[in-house]
Amino acid sequence: MKTDVFWTDQFPRPNDLSVANELPSQVDVAIVGSGYTGLNCARVLAKAGRSVVVLDQHSIGWGASSRNGGMATPGLKQDIFKIKKTYGMEYAKEFWKSSVDAINLLELIIREENIDCDWERNGHCSLAFKQSHFNELPEYADWLKMEMGHEKTIVPKEKLKSEIGTDEYFGGISDESSAGLHPAKFVFGLAKSVENLGVSLFEKTRVDSINRISNGFELITKKGKLNSKDVVIATNGYTDTMVPGMKPKVFPVGSYIIVSEPLPADLQHKLSPKKRMFYDSKNFLNYFRLTPDGRMLWGGRNDLSTDLDLNESASILTKQVCTIFPELNDVKFTNSWTGKLGITFDLMPHIGQTNGIHYALGYGGHGLSIATYLGTEIGLLMTGQKNRSPYEEIPHQTMFFYKKNPWFLPFAAKWYQFLDWIS
């Protein structure tokens, strides 16, 4: 099994996407990170007439933006009821609406920039891992419809075969607003669109430090110095200690994925009749879908670490998917890879400033849509096209015991495993 990312293994960076070599001496905005956050922020800023560079220590879209499952679903990592309890109903409505708007924004950008990325809005189905999980769904669906104006459909176990070809779940809830795409095609298409707007893209350009100067900031990079009026940090789960105070705001969690060889058309239809996106109700959830070329993609968070051996993780994930779909026991799985999620202690995404440097982070597995939304949001705020965002108004929780290394993740993993066992 290859340990290359399937999406970029299948679709390498297009030849017509060029990168710059020589840093300018001065720009309006320097963006660190070339994923969905950074590129969408660059798109807004460039359209507003700002001179922009995007810097990445690896290659364009190297991180989670080309490693994810390509699934865009409404909601955030934090439960909507807990959001309401913590921040109140008005904020809860804003956050839920923004998560739906984020999917619509994705579609708008894809259409406006003519990005060929296999966009399909076939909806998703959330699957009940236990009967008790299913029993909670009707109240949840009723509340969402009444308070958020958002429609979901309860799928009892006896009708689940219309959604998925297995008897291993206790029912589910479907949502027609969700979508899927090819994440690498999207990030490369987005990069090409901002390049066409005059944004300079730099690869293998690690930023070692950022210093405050009289008219903005001085960035010290592997390719020299760069002065910028503003700086945006768009590294999410890959955030390091480059900017003092940034690292404690977010911690990385590993997510692991395998993908099969292309499946016969009749098997595809049996496993996923409506070509939905899927995820289950476990704390250590699994998420899966058919890829645009008819492969089974299966992902999970069975270990929160970011350095699990890819052959070991593939073995775990293969066992899981074949338990749900025994038809795949004789199917070859071709690729196994991982990427880092950015998680905050309150499980909420945040935008803000630290020492005058802008940032967005903490998408918790919803990065395809939320990173696109918040990257755009930062750009709109910086250019004065918006004057507020709920994501910068809520307090950003940190913990005294976390400064650089997330030593607590193995303990958290055991706790989530326990919760899945007793729930």
Residue-by-residue DSSP string for 22-41: S--SEEEEEEE--SHHHHHH
The mean per-residue pLDDT over the stretch 12-39 comes to: 95
Cβ-in-10-Å burial (0-12, 13-18, 19+) of 36 comes to buried
Q: Which residues, in sequence order, are CB contacts of 158 under 8 Å at separation 6+? A: none
**pLDDT of the residue at 249:** 95
**The predicted structure's pLDDT at residue 241:** 86
Q: What is the pLDDT of residues 31-90, one digit of tens each?
A: 999 999 999 999 999 999 999 999 999 999 999 999 999 999 999 999 999 999 999 999
**Whether 117 contacts 171, CB under 8 Å:** no
Q: What pLDDT does residue 423 have?
A: 73
Are 136 and 80 in contact by the 8 Å Cβ rule? The answer is no
- Going by C-alpha positions, the residue among 310, 306, 367 that lies closest to residue 339 is 306
Region 207-214: mean pLDDT is 95
Question: What structural domains does the chain harbor?
Answer: 6-123+177-416 (3.50.50.60)
pLDDT digits (tens, 9 = 90+) for 141-167: 999 999 999 999 999 999 999 999 999
Per-residue confidence (pLDDT) for residue 213, from 0 to 100: 96
